[in-house]
A and B are shown apart, each in its own frame.
Chain A
Amino acid sequence: MAFIHKYSTISKGNTFNQGIIDGCINSKIATEITHPDYKDIITGINLRRMSVIVKMGLANTIKCSSRNKIDAIVVATGLASLHNSELFLCSLIDPEQSILSPTPFINSVHNTISGEIALHTQNKGYNITYSQGSLSFEGALLDSILLTKEGKNVIVGGVDEVIPPLDNLSMKIKSKEEFTTGSTFFNISPNKNGSLAEIVNCIITKEEKANYYITDNFNSNEDVLISGHSTCNHSKKINTLNYSKFSGILMTNPAFGLQLAVELLNTDISELDGCKLPSRIKRVFIINHASKNDIGIIILRK
């Protein structure tokens, strides 16, 4: 049994302090990513050399783990620090650079995020990083569910960043949503007491199987479906909230969708962004269509 106890998102709007519904969806001014003041959260170290994705992951971790012994840190990232990867790649072909700086090389490695979180929170427990394109977060969440079965108190999250070449790409493919930077983390444990929601299932499967699964399991009278894609097939039949519209495009945004789902299960609103909500939401289905051939499905209940 995996229960969500805490969440934290850094995204467009003041999500870090107000959550997604108030800080982003209902906020008229939420267009830019709003970073918290990291020096107030991450203390005792020089932040200048820390990459943006590490700062986001660490700040979210600290917020999710207050007064809480953490046994495991699980991080998902689709592309890790693109900024540092690009910096080191470009330095390789720069004839002016005879001595390479190792800093961008170290910071480009995917597990730098989970490693630095462990280092700065002095956490010596289980530590892992998953990177499976747009399905990176589902892999991390599945491991976290396993870890709660093993009795562990887990921090799990997703983080990705945008760099200028990706901006050009979103213009080129005329995507409605822009590529963006963002991060969402959770504290998940086997303990039901005081929890905000329970993770019922987390699967990755092919589109056809996913459609059968949703048709068989979804009840539109009491369930809500939130999807990462506006052209989601199910949207014709079912009231669908599109989380990418608010998070922007990043490979780990199902984590953003999951926090939105937790918030939905814990608020009393009848409508959000034009989507009518059941008076008592039983379950939320988070559907991730961003991968070419595969669908990620996370199901959550109160």
Chain B
Amino acid sequence: MSISITGLGIVSAIGMNLEENLNSLQNLKSGISSIDLINELQENFIAGEIKLTNQELSLIAFEKDKQEVFPRSLLLSLIAAKQAWGENKINPKIKTVIIGATTVGGMDLAEKILEKDVRIQALAHNPSGIITDYLADYFHLDEFKTTVSTACSSTANAIILGSRMIKNGLADRVLVGGGDALTKFTVNGFNSLRIYDPGFCKPFDNNRKGLNLGEGAAYIVLENEKSLSITKNKKVVSILGWGNANDAYHQTASSPNGEGAQKSMQLALEEAGLKPEDIDYINAHGTATVNNDLSEGRAIETLFGKNQLFSSTKGYTGHTLAASGIVECIYSILSIKHKTIFPTLKHNTLMPELKVKPVINIKKDITINTVLSNSFGFGGNNATIIIGK
């Protein structure tokens, strides 16, 4: 049994497709800047904002003028999903399901409507499933659909469900991914928790002050052998393992030693039948909050030892919440394909608590066969994916 990734689609603050994202990563170009498109924020925040209005995004998504108003997360998701789906066709012999993921759903529309004080219409945009509903209709996927909402680990968990459905014979092909737009709700929400750095986020730096949010969406296509034999799609890499565990420590914070993180990585190794030394590189969750980076750093050190290569790519995109898991899975694939570790940006001072050190200078021409990618969220929701050649 193998689970092949065959299609990739991504939009983020560092590019509107895979090539643009790769180019920014290779040139160490961050997409984090002042927020231009959301008015009336409480403070001047910086974030990984995509500098296109909803109208401009709509034109890219539909390739024509569309009168209908859509949530920004839906537009981002549709653009990414179209790139991933590509020339795939519906075939009654291939059972194809769609699994989405989002945190904010249509919250940006809710905020706009609420300004006019129409409460019920505002809340009508809250349901998370609206994006998957739209994409399922758009791509004519009528076998099964669902949406995962486990905060910052949402898309990682969506990939896990898709992989398990293929493994257990419930699906041959899965369009899986998700997206989150920047909203007042989330920017102010993370700021109210006092974990939003007013300056650039500094993952795994001793002087880190918190995260910068970002926006984006990404989708991938997963296929089993039967599907591949019909679609003739080319395998890019495979999903080798996955883990999901709960930290059960605090509503929003991780345990100091990263117990849930360790368990989630351990489960992924077991599922993949790999040992810690088989992991060439870890794309860390690395949000740059004081709490996450200590907890995750300790978990990595405990399980993989002090020489493990790892980095956080949050400094390029900002923290794209539900999308972050799949965005970083795609970056991990780019690391394998282009033999490159994209470094942690803005890093100056090592954390004294850790012996393990993040990669802070780009590493080229390095053989990477297997990557582990972490996504941890509110509610103690930890998820890990392992991908490889």
Q: Give A267 Cβ to nearest chain B Cβ, in Å.
A: 32
Q: Is B119 in contact with A112, judged by CB distance below 8 angstroms? A: no
Fill in one digit per residue for A113-136: 1 if any B CB lies within 8 Å of its CB, else 0.
011101101111111111111011
Bound state CA distance, A131 and B378, in angstroms?
16
With A124-B245, A125-B246 as contacts: A131 and B127 at CB distance below 8 Å:
yes
Bound state CA distance, A209 and B381, in angstroms?
36
Q: Is B248 in contact with A119, judged by CB distance below 8 angstroms? A: yes
**B132, B133, B193: the one within 8 Å of A105 (CB):** B193
Answer yes or no: A44 CB below 8 A from chain B CBs.
no
With A106-B378, A110-B128, A111-B150 as contacts: A166 and B133 at CB distance below 8 Å:
no
Q: Is A124 in contact with B263, judged by CB distance below 8 angstroms? A: yes
Answer yes or no: B149 CB below 8 A from chain A CBs.
yes
Answer yes or no: B161 CB below 8 A from chain A CBs.
yes
Q: Is B120 in contact with A101, judged by CB distance below 8 angstroms? A: no
Answer yes or no: B247 CB below 8 A from chain A CBs.
yes
Q: Give A255 Cβ to nearest chain B Cβ, in Å.
A: 15
Answer yes or no: A78 CB below 8 A from chain B CBs.
yes
Chain A's closest residue to B164 (CB) is A146
A-B contact count (CB 8 A): 190
Q: Is B185 in contact with A110, judged by CB distance below 8 angstroms? A: no
Q: Which residues of B contact A294 (CB under 8 A)?
A: 142, 145
Q: Is A112 in contact with B251, judged by CB distance below 8 angstroms? A: yes
**A88, A133, A209: the one within 8 Å of B127 (CB):** A133
Answer yes or no: B67 CB below 8 A from chain A CBs.
no
Q: Which residues of B contact A30 (CB under 8 A)?
A: none
Q: Which of A257-279 contact B (CB under 8 A)?
A: none
Fill in one digit per residue for A147-158: 1 if any B CB lies within 8 Å of its CB, else 0.
001100000000
Chain A's closest residue to B103 (CB) is A109
With A111-B151, A133-B133 as contacts: A93 and B115 at CB distance below 8 Å:
yes
Q: Which of B160-179 contact A (CB under 8 A)?
A: 161, 164-165, 168, 170
Q: Which residues of A contact B119 (CB under 8 A)?
A: 86, 165
Fill in one digit per residue for B367-378: 1 if any A CB lies within 8 Å of its CB, else 0.
000000000011
Q: Is B380 in contact with A115, judged by CB distance below 8 angstroms? A: yes
Answer yes or no: B293 CB below 8 A from chain A CBs.
no
Give the size category of A's interface with B: 35 or more
Q: Is B148 in contact with A130, judged by CB distance below 8 angstroms? A: yes
Chain B's closest residue to A89 (CB) is B114
Answer yes or no: B64 CB below 8 A from chain A CBs.
no
**B127, B142, B248: the one within 8 Å of A206 (CB):** B142
Q: Is A115 in contact with B129, judged by CB distance below 8 angstroms? A: no
**A92, A101, A139: the one within 8 Å of B185 (CB):** A92
Answer yes or no: B143 CB below 8 A from chain A CBs.
yes
Q: Is B379 in contact with A115, judged by CB distance below 8 angstroms? A: yes
Q: Which residues of A contact B123 (CB under 8 A)?
A: 79, 82, 85-86, 163, 165-166
With A204-B144, A205-B142 as contacts: A123 and B378 at CB distance below 8 Å:
no
Q: Which residues of B contact A41 (CB under 8 A)?
A: none
**B115, B132, B142, B149: the one within 8 Å of A129 (CB):** B149
With A100-B188, A135-B129, A139-B146 as contacts: A111 and B381 at CB distance below 8 Å:
yes
Q: Is A85 in contact with B379, judged by CB distance below 8 angstroms? A: no
Chain B's closest residue to A105 (CB) is B189
> What are 7 of the A-B contact pairs (CB < 8 Å)?
A105-B193, A109-B378, A110-B151, A115-B251, A130-B146, A133-B133, A143-B161
- Report which B residues bind A (CB closer than 8 A): 42, 103, 110-111, 114-115, 119-120, 122-123, 126-130, 132-133, 137, 142-151, 157, 161, 164-165, 168, 170, 184-185, 188-189, 191-193, 244-252, 259-260, 263, 377-381
